[in-house]
Every structure is written in C-alpha cells, then in structure tokens.
Amino acid sequence: MTIANVSLPQMQGALSATQDQIALVITFNIVATAVATPMTGWLTARFGQRRLLLFCVAAFTLATLMCGLSGSLEMLVFFRVAQGLFGAPLAPLSQSIVLASYPQHKHGTATSIFGMGVVLGPLIAPTIGGYLSEEYSWRWVFFMIVPIGMASLLGCWAFVADGVRAARIRLDWTGFIALSVAIACFQLLLDRGERNSWLESTEIVLEICAAGLCFYIFLVHTFTAERPFLNPRLFLDRNFVLGIALTLVFGLLNFTPMTLLPGLLQNLRGYPDSIIGLLLGARGAGTLLGFSVLFFGNRYDPRIWLVCGFTLQGIAGWMMAQFDINLTTSDVAWAGFIQGLGTGFLWVPLTLVTFNTLPRELFAEGSSIFHLLRNIGSSVHISISVALVLHSAKINYGHLAEAVTPYAKAWQMPSVAGAWSMGSIQSLAHVSSEVQRQGLMIGYINAFYFYTLTALAALPLIMMVRMKKAEKAPARKPPGQAPQAIKSVQNR
C-alpha cells in the first residue's frame, strides 16, 4: 500500500504521465481493494480461510511481479488493480481470524500484536524502496515484495488451519454489482473531474448519474432482499455504525500525506528518492511507537486514545500546512512522525469500538465493511486532495502572474529582483516556471489545511460512543486447592 508512493515522481517521468494520471497508480489499487473487500465473508464461507489465503497471497505476489515488468501506465494500472482485487481479502480475513481466536478480554493485546505487522510495512517499505528506486529503477519497489510474498505463502500453507465452511452459500450478485459499479464510478469522477472540467464534461455527468443510481439500487436491495449482500443487522448496532464512521475518517487521513509529499519534495525541492523514502519512513516510526504505547495502554478507555489519535493527526496536518517553498527535511520528518503516532493510537481503539458490541457471528461481515470504508476513504481523500492541489495551482498561477509586469516596483529593486529579469524569452520562461512553482506550493498548503479539518471532524463522533465492560478472564485457582464441595465432604 505504501511502497509505490516513494517512486511516484520517477514513475511519472518514466511513463510520461501527468500528476493526476500517476495518482491512478494509487487510487485504482485502493478502489479495487474496496470493491473486492465485501466479498471476503462469502469467499471465506465458500472456499475456506486456508484455501482463500493461499490463492490470494499467490495471486497477489504474481500481480506484484507483473507491476514491476509493466511497460506502460495502462499496464501498470491494470496490474495494480489486480493487486487490489487479490489482496483485498487478506486484511479483513486476518483480522477476523485474530479476533475469533481470542476471548474478548484479550482482544486489545491481540490486536496490538497484530498491528505490529501492519506497522512494519510502512516503516520498512518506503526506506528500502527509496534506495532501490534511486540505485536501480522504480520497478524494484515491486520486485522486492516478491520474495516476501513467497515467504508469506509458505507461512499460510504451514500454519493456517481451515475453518468451518457454510454449505451452499449464495452470493447476492445484485447487491455486489450495484455496490461495485457505484464505487468505481464515484472514484472515476473524482479522478477525472479536474482534468475534464467537472460538470462541463458529459463523461463526468454520466458517472455521477451511474454512481447515484447504482448506490440507490444497492440501498433499496439491501433493506428489502431476503439475503442481501451486506447484512442490515450490522447497522442496528450503535457502536458499529459509529465505529465505521470513524474508520471512514481514519481512511480519509491514512495515505493522503504519503501520496502528496513525494511529488512536493521531488518536483518543488528536488529531493532524491532515497531521502524521500527516509522521510516517509518517519511516519512508520511514529506508528510503531504508537502501537508500542497501546500494547501497554489498551486497558484504558479506547475513546481517550481516539481523541489523542485524531488530535495528533490534526496537529500534523497543521504543521504541513505551515510548509513553504523552503521547507527542510526536519519539518517533513516531524510532521510525518506525529501523523504516524496518531495512526498508531487509532488502529486498536477503532477495532475495539467497532466490534465491542457486535455479535461474534457477524465479525467476518463487519470486518469486511470496516476495511471497505477505510479503503474508500483513502481513495476518495487522495483524489479530492490531488484535485484541490491542481485546481488551486491554476487559480494561484493566474493571481500571481498578474503581479509580474514590467511596471512592478519589485523589478526596480536589485535586492528583490536578484537574477530574475524580463529582458528575453528565456528569462520570461524562468519567471513563469517560478510562478507556477509557487502556485503549486499554495495548492499543497490548501490540501494540508483540508486534511487538518478532516481530522478534527472526527472528534464529535467519539463523544457518542458507548462502551460495555469487557468480559473478565476466568479466575485461576491456586495449585492444590480443592473445590469447595470436596472440602465440605472432607470436613464432614
């Protein structure tokens, strides 16, 4: 999920893509993951968790290899979609196995340990991927995953047992297709809206109509069909509804900085891929610290950690919104570290809040919706943020260019004008490039302000969460202590 981000600028140059086109490498992968995630419950019941894990890990590894061998943007996006489809069941199925394997009073500890694996990827991948990308090419950010995928395949084959499968389970194709088309059309209109001038484009209008119609069909079918694609009983649980709403906000915040920062650092500051990878790795270090704290602090009310996590995300967004064209590596590293720390504080409490009052038999379907909304949130916020950057850059270029005239007083001041001049076409081109650069920086700043507001919007929802007390572990009797009934007989 994170390793491709560090090489986005290099991919953009190698594949001759624009900034919004190269963002498809990230967003289409997330959309494919979101579309396939709700099928996890049906696939698990139909084929069994062992067989499903083995197939998905093998297919994901092969798709990753083909991403590295891609020769065009279209081919790369196609195999990134394949990555998303085959990788979608892995996270919810793994989480469902973990939650079902432990009693409720151990869910916090088990989820913390499980989360360590979630943390190590974002910590290792950008750092190593940045060096490989700089020394060899962007293709190696995919090639390096292949041996890890093969090791995962061997681990699943050796240790994962097959669960109980439901007989003759049927997939609700009407609900699945309606939801998939709605998500795909919504994501397409967000990705292509800025390029096609939004409602001035017939394509965008058709995508809006298709998304609205299919989502309406999905909602009506879900609440009227005998066996819908998603069980409506899930939405009768107050905590589950609030939990997935918070998860949606968490998804909105999760990957946006990692998508925006590589382009900002390389295109506006000229940073090499290895340095970008290290700076993105600072986020993973913060997440690791957050999970470590939660490992010992999960006994406290999860709502406290949710407030801390979303507040830290908002602080990180505010720090990034204060960047200027002369930002330093320490500015980026600290902002990334704080954002990662907030992420580490959020993962375990979100899981505990969402599944706190949900019946155990609904864990698989609930986990699918949990990860579905997390992925949709990520793709939507990335697309909106990229569109905001590009749109703001156009507007600010126009405003800044108005001040660049031969009559501006700044040109009469050598200390201000410096090496800039308007004496030739080449000089004008340099001035135009700098104005465009400054306008783009303002676009990034606006996107970071939007990120900050998104983080703070989650705080009122946390106040509505109600937690029930966890089941206590059964008390263990001291060795050699006889039951009370036996003691009575002995006394007699």
CATH number of the domain encompassing residue 275: 1.20.1250.20
pLDDT confidence band for 475 (50 / 70 / 90): low
Above 50 in pLDDT, residue 489? no
Range ranked top by mean pLDDT from 193-202, 336-345, 444-453: 444-453
Residue 472 DSSP one-character state = P
Q: Is residue 413 part of a domain?
A: no
- How many CB atoms neighbour CB 115 within 10 A? 24
One-letter amino acid at 231 equals: N
Do 153 and 195 lie in a common domain? no
Which of 210, 228, 246 finishes a domain? 228
Side-chain half-sphere of 283: how many Cα atoms within 13 Å? 29
Between the alpha carbon of residue 409 and those of residues 397, 406, 414, 423, 438, the distances in Å are: 20, 8, 11, 16, 20
Q: Is residue 32 part of a domain?
A: yes
pLDDT confidence band for 311 (50 / 70 / 90): very high
Asked whether the beta carbons of 175 and 229 are under 8 A apart, the reply is yes
User: Cα separation of 242 and 250, whole Å?
Assistant: 12
Do 282 and 198 lie in a common domain? no
pLDDT confidence band for 316 (50 / 70 / 90): very high
What is the average per-residue pLDDT within 104-128?
A: 75
pTM for the model? 0.79
pLDDT confidence band for 483 (50 / 70 / 90): very low
pLDDT confidence band for 165 (50 / 70 / 90): low
Q: Which residue in 395, 262, 408 sits closest to 336, CA to CA?
A: 262
Q: Is residue 194 part of a domain?
A: yes
Q: Is residue 361 part of a domain?
A: yes
Match 């979303």 to its residue by tokens. 310
Tell me the two tokens of residue 231: 């069980």
Residues 42-67: tens digit of each pLDDT: 788 788 888 998 999 999 999 999 99
Above 60 in pLDDT, residue 208? yes
Do 130 and 279 lie in a common domain? yes
What integer best gives the mean pLDDT of the chain? 84
Residue-level pLDDT at 383: 86
pLDDT confidence band for 119 (50 / 70 / 90): low
Do 240 and 377 lie in a common domain? yes
- How many CB atoms neighbour CB 196 within 10 A? 15
Do 371 and 298 lie in a common domain? yes
Above 70 in pLDDT, residue 121? yes
- How many CB atoms neighbour CB 328 within 10 A? 10
Q: Is residue 427 part of a domain?
A: no
| Number of domains comprising the chain | 2
Between the alpha carbon of residue 195 and those of residues 152, 170, 190, 391, the distances in Å are: 40, 41, 10, 9
- The torsion angles phi and psi of 172, rounded to 5 degrees, stand at -80, 90
- How many CB atoms neighbour CB 450 within 10 A? 18
Q: Is residue 298 part of a domain?
A: yes
Do 439 and 311 lie in a common domain? yes
Do 327 and 357 lie in a common domain? yes
What is the average per-residue pLDDT within 411-436?
A: 75
Which of 184, 207, 228 finishes a domain? 228
Do 90 and 136 lie in a common domain? yes
Which of 183, 208, 228 finishes a domain? 228
Do 205 and 76 lie in a common domain? no
Residue-level pLDDT at 490: 45
Parent domain of 192 = 172-228
Where in 239-373 does DSSP place strands (E)? none
CA 101 to chain centre: 26
Do 59 and 203 lie in a common domain? no
Do 46 and 137 lie in a common domain? yes
Asked whether the beta carbons of 160 and 50 are under 8 A apart, the reply is yes
Above 60 in pLDDT, residue 492? no
Do 454 and 355 lie in a common domain? yes
Q: Comparing 80-84, 153-157, 295-299, which segment has the lowest mean pLDDT?
A: 295-299
pLDDT confidence band for 469 (50 / 70 / 90): low
Residue-level pLDDT at 189: 87
Q: Is residue 394 part of a domain?
A: yes
Residues 346-397: tens digit of each pLDDT: 988 898 888 888 887 787 678 778 878 888 888 889 889 988 998 999 999 9
Above 90 in pLDDT, residue 401? no
Q: Is residue 20 part of a domain?
A: yes
